[in-house]
Amino acid sequence: MSIKKPVPDIPQPIHFTLDGKDIEAFAGQTIMEACDAQGIYIPRLCDAEGLNVQGSCRVCSVKMNGRVVAACTQPLEDEATIENATEEVESYRKDLVSMLFHEGNHLCPICEASGRCELQAMAYRFGMIEDTNYPYLQPVRPVDASHPDIALDNNRCILCGRCIRASRDIDQKNIFEYVGRGIHKRIAVDGDCLADTAASIDDAAMSLAVCPVGCIIRKREGFFAPVGTREFDQNNIGATIESPSSITRDPNRIAVRHIDPIAHKHLSKDTKDKGPAS
Ligand code: SF4
Ligand code: SF4
Ligand code: FES
């Protein structure tokens, strides 16, 4: 009887075009993974490094062979034609981001996430500086400040589910879940309030890298970076992919954008010990 030798797992090269440019990738990569590897940023909100993909915000939409798909979940097809930075695709993404502002209550000048908020940074990237045609829904949403170290302001939640995945897959706690439907859908916690749960300030789900907006608030750490030194004051969203060598990072002031519980603990310790950076 012959013994089968293991077949080496060699990635199979494939090709696709992105806005007319020929690009090499590997079979099995998503469109977003292949573009990231080439230094091409595709906007995203529900996707974050270190988390399982969810594919819900659709901000990463592109057209593959004429069909709108989510770049974060869609595997590349060999010889695919992808439209990314076209007027049509960018207008679609911009509408989605606009609607997130109109569905919640966003008062950026008094929000501690201002300057490091991915929603705000995306709006700036898209040049959204004028009023839109959508009505502001101004929903009445709960704020849960029961926990000694963490607060939850649902007014700013964009339902990206990053906290759900971080709590479930990294912390293995399942603190967060979706409840309700349609415009009443919101994030709830595994208990009557946050203080009733096993939530800890050291959970990966509570790190600055997880909530892209100012919904999960780390108490006593607000406004830790002065205006001008906040993450997106210095770098456009997407700069870590488009121009990583030009990124300015001060680990005491700027959120670590990959989910590393060790780095996260260092960040929380530094900011607590030193207080607001001056
Ligand atoms: S969460 Fe972001 S978009 Fe919303 S108010 Fe805060 S800074 Fe502005
Ligand atoms: S609390 Fe933050 S991380 Fe969780 S769903 Fe809302 S916006 Fe996303
Ligand atoms: S980043 Fe792809 S759907 Fe949200």
Q: Read off the pTM.
A: 0.88
Residue 278 has pLDDT above 70, yes or no: no
Residue ranges of E strands in 130-215:
143-144, 150-153, 176-179, 186-189
Q: Which of 120, 126, 223, 231 to mutate to test the pocket of ligand 1 (most atoms within 8 A of CB)?
A: 120
- Per-residue pLDDT, averaged over 61-67, amounts to 98
Ligand closest to CA 41: 3
10-59: per-residue pLDDT in tens? Answer: 789 999 999 999 999 999 999 999 999 999 999 999 999 999 999 999 99
Task: Please report the domains of the chain, with CATH numbers, ordered by start residue.
Answer: 14-85 (3.10.20.740), 91-230+245-266 (3.30.70.20)
Residue 81 has pLDDT above 50, yes or no: yes
Lowest mean per-residue pLDDT among 40-44, 130-134, 147-151, 160-164: 130-134
Mean pLDDT of the chain: 87
Closest CA relative to residue 18, chosen from 57, 59, 76, 73:
76
Three-state DSSP at 201 gives coil
**Distances in Å between the alpha carbon of 65 and those of 80, 192, 253?**
6, 47, 43
Say yes or no: CB of residue 204 within 6 Å of ligand 2: no
Say yes or no: CB of residue 114 within 6 Å of ligand 1: yes
Residue 262 has pLDDT above 80, yes or no: no
- Closest Cα to atom 2 of ligand 2: 211
Task: Find tokens 């706690």 and name the residue.
Answer: 173
Ligand closest to CA 58: 3
Lowest mean per-residue pLDDT among 19-23, 161-165, 240-244: 240-244
